[in-house]
Amino acid sequence: MTGTQHFMLDQYKQQHPYLVALDSIILGFDGDNLKVLLVKRGVNEETWSLMGGWLQPDETLDRAANRILFELTGLNDVYLEQLHAFGDPHRDPITRTVSVAYFALIKVGTDESGLSDAYQAQWFSVYELPHLLFDHAQMIELALKRLRYKAAHQPIGFELMPEKFTIPQLKKLFDAIYNTDFDRRNFSRKILSTGLLIKLDEKQKGFSKKGAYYYQVDKEKYQQASESLLSFIAN
Amino acid sequence: MTGTQHFMLDQYKQQHPYLVALDSIILGFDGDNLKVLLVKRGVNEETWSLMGGWLQPDETLDRAANRILFELTGLNDVYLEQLHAFGDPHRDPITRTVSVAYFALIKVGTDESGLSDAYQAQWFSVYELPHLLFDHAQMIELALKRLRYKAAHQPIGFELMPEKFTIPQLKKLFDAIYNTDFDRRNFSRKILSTGLLIKLDEKQKGFSKKGAYYYQVDKEKYQQASESLLSFIAN
DNA sequence: CCAAAAGTGTTTAGTATACACCCATGG
DNA sequence: CCATGGGTGTATACTAAACACTTTTGG
């Protein structure tokens, strides 16, 4: 037994360790456009970067991603899921790094105050990105694909909406995600048929003359729907 | 510039590096059941393991996964895609290791001869697994979820079939994947309506009295379909 | 009172499900 | 000649897409 263990340890010792980073694609919706939150890197004035950090010895990957997200946004209960591990030997020119990318969906406007000043964070339209560090552009692209895919199959879109929202607002989100223009009437019917929305007695004022009813997500049903779908879908 | 660079290097030097492993969930179909290929670990006679290995300094993750798969199976052109990164601090009790899991779909029976003897590999039904190393059971479970999900949305199932196959055989595969019993007639129509299959002039003999026609995948159309779907779906 | 946005209804086409029926052939 | 598995057809129910019409209200 001890012999075997020693043999194993030797096997392990021969291997090269690498730094493991986490990068988060933080997506938000401002009412018109799908946005991604980027931070400024000291390296180059014109290079932006995803929010990232290093994996610490006592952390799981999920936990590390949550910690890093919290450091920037001050938010804790955020939709966050692992996207993909990136490990090109030259992706980081300084040293070999494997980065596990996560994507987060947050409700913009809910609480911008939590945004840490330390990182000089800024929202960018996902269709007009600045020059990005390393393979971060690739990561964002993949995150968008995943979002599009998932939003079509599960009620993930609500994660990007505020607590109260109108159907026309929700349609705008889907239009932005798919970069298209859904039929107002069919969209409304389809969304309501999920039974996940609760109609409130309050109408939106100031935008349109008639005013649209506010809705909120039926958290219980949403939970169930997410679970039944998530157990079926990967992750 | 050099100042900045030095600063960055210091930042990097403070970080802890970890071993990065790759583990492959190799799935196959023997005509009746969905199987996973496991190897015996020296540690314990009764513990089996996924085929795995270490990330080498010059490799991308995909390349490393392919290499490791080749070492075991001798196969090169195999469906292989990244599944998920696993990084629990205690998943490997010997040392902290982050493992990037891949899942592979191979055509069983095509060429068993390539299987390296060095690893004592064996096929297990995915519904009757032995005791597994670390978090490998979890990895297999996730791979199955992903397979179920993907097979429902893209023509990925063919990767598990031999070059020539009959519709009833393909139905058996889908029955095995979903652990259900699809309607023979509707299944046939649905599959054929994809236009991805080419009917051959040959019938299967020995199994049924009438004999079922063999089909093969229309590689060109399959390629297109995969691309259009893959560009939409994550990864 | 009208323009603009919101909400409801209807028609039509396409797809999925369930099931009935015929075909081919080895024993 | 019939049991068994393979192949084709059809009636019905859903679901999705396209589009017309009515409602509300600020200016």
Where do the structural domains in chain B lie, given as residue ranges? 8-151, 154-230
CATH of A14-151, one of 3.60.20.30, 3.90.79.10, 3.40.50.720, 3.90.1150.10: 3.90.79.10
Answer yes or no: are the C-beta atoms of A173 and A157 closer than 8 Å: yes
Considering only residues 44 to 83 of chain A, which have any Cβ-Cβ distance to chain B shorter than 8 Å? 54-61, 64, 82-83
Q: Would you say residue B119 has pLDDT above 80?
A: no
Judge if B8-151 and B154-230 fold alike in CATH terms.
no
Picking from A15, A60, A94, the nearest residue to B8 by CB comes out as A94
Considering only residues 92 to 121 of chain B, which have any Cβ-Cβ distance to chain A shorter than 8 Å? 94-96, 98, 100
Q: Give the model's pLDDT for residue A124.
A: 94
Q: Which residue of A has its CA nearest to B56?
A: A16
Does the CB of B185 sit below 7 A from strand D?
yes
Does the CB of B209 sit below 7 A from strand D?
yes
Tokens of B67: 């290499």
Closest C-alpha to B68, from B92, B51, B48, B50: B51
CATH architecture of residue range(s) B154-230 = Orthogonal Bundle (1.10)
All residues of chain B having their beta carbon less than 8 Å from the beta carbon of residue A138 are: none
Answer yes or no: are the C-beta atoms of A8 and B6 closer than 8 Å: no
A204: the nucleotide nearest its CA (via C1') is C6
Q: Would you say residue B47 has pLDDT above 60?
A: yes
Report the phi/psi class of residue B114: left, alpha or beta, with left for phi > 0 and alpha for psi in -120 to 50: alpha
Residues A185-203 have pLDDT tens digits of 999 999 999 889 999 999 9
Residues A43-92 have pLDDT tens digits of 667 889 999 999 999 999 999 999 999 988 888 889 999 999 999 999 99
Instruction: Tell me how close the Cα of B51 comes to any Cα of chain A, in angstroms.
Output: 16
CATH architecture of residue range(s) B8-151 = Alpha-Beta Complex (3.90)
The more confident residue out of A205 and A233 is: A205
